[in-house]
A and B are shown apart, each in its own frame.
Chain A
Amino acid sequence: MGKNLHDFLSQLEGQLQHDLVRVEQTVSPAQFEVTALLQHLEEMKKFPALFFEKPLNLKGKPSRFPLLSNFFATRQRCALSLGMSADDAKLALSLEYARREEKLISPVTVSTKEAPVKEVVKRGDDADLYEFPIVRHHAMDPAPYIDMTPVMKDPEQGFYNVAFLRNMVKGPRRLGIHMSPRHNWQIHRKNEEKKRPTPVAIVVGHHPAFYLGALNVSPFGVDDYARIGAVMGEPLRLTASETWGEDFMVPADAEIVIEGHVLPNVKEVEAPFGEFTGYYGPQRLRPVIEVTAITHRRNAVFQHIFVGHRDNWVLGGIPKEGSLFNLIRGIVPTVKAIHFPISGCCRFNCYVSVDKKIDGETRQAALAALAGCDFVKHVVVVDADIDVYNEEQVMWAMATRVQADQDVDIIKNAKGNTLDPSQTDDIMTAKMIIDATRPVQRPFAARVEVPKEALAKTRLEDFISPAILERLPKA
Chain B
Amino acid sequence: MANIFWVTCPKCRGEFYCHTQELRHKGIKLLCPYCSHQFLDEESPRIME
Contact = CB atoms under 8 A, between A and B. Distances in A.
Interface string B1-39: 111100000000000111101110000111111001000
Contact of A272 (B2, B17, B22, B36): B17
Contact of B2 (A142, A269, A418): A418
Contacts of B28: 269, 285
A278 interface: no
B17 A269 contact: no
A438 B31 CA distance: 54
A280 B17 contact: yes
Contact of A141 (B1, B3, B33): B33
Contacts of B22: 284-285
Contacts of A419: 1
Contacts of B18: 282-284
Nearest to B29: A269
Interface in A398-426: 418-423, 426
Given A269-B23, A272-B16, A284-B19, A142 B31 contact: yes
Interface residues of B, number: 18
B23 A421 contact: no
B16 A285 contact: no
Contacts of B4: 282
B17 A283 contact: yes
B23 to A, nearest CB: 7
A165 to B, nearest CB: 17
A283 B1 contact: no
B2 A426 contact: yes
B17 A420 contact: no
Most B Cβ at <10 Å: residue of A143, A269, A422: A269
Q: Chain A's interface: helix, strand, loop or mixed, by majority?
A: loop
Q: Chain B's interface: helix, strand, loop or mixed, by majority?
A: mixed
Interface residues of A, number: 20
A142 B17 contact: no
Contacts of A16: none
Given A283-B17, A284-B19, A269 B31 contact: yes
Contacts of B1: 279, 281-282, 418-423, 426
A140 interface: yes
Interface in A195-225: none
A313 to B, nearest CB: 18
Nearest to A267: B22
A283 B32 CA distance: 10
Given A142-B33, A272-B16, A283 B23 contact: yes
Contacts of A272: 16-17, 33
Contacts of A140: 16, 33
A282 B2 contact: yes
A426 B2 CA distance: 4
A142 B36 contact: yes
Contacts of A426: 1-3, 21
Contacts of B32: 142
Most B Cβ at <10 Å: residue of A284, A419, A422: A284
Contacts of A418: 1-2
Contacts of B3: 426
Interface in A141-182: 141-143
Nearest to A426: B2
Contact of B19 (A279, A283, A423): A283
A282 B30 contact: no
Contacts of B23: 269, 283-285
Interface in A105-151: 140-143
A280 B2 CA distance: 12
Nearest to B38: A269
A279 B4 CA distance: 13
A288 to B, nearest CB: 13
B13 to A, nearest CB: 14
A423 B21 CA distance: 15
Contact of A282 (B17, B29, B36): B17
Nearest to A422: B1
A282 B32 CA distance: 12
8 contacts: A140-B33, A142-B36, A143-B33, A272-B16, A285-B19, A423-B1, A426-B2, A426-B3
**Nearest 9 A-B pairs (CB), nearest first?**
A142-B33, A284-B19, A283-B18, A426-B2, A282-B19, A282-B4, A421-B1, A285-B22, A269-B31
Given A283-B16, A284-B19, 15 more contacts: A142-B31, A269-B28, A269-B29, A269-B31, A280-B16, A281-B1, A282-B2, A283-B30, A283-B31, A284-B23, A285-B19, A285-B23, A285-B28, A426-B1, A426-B2
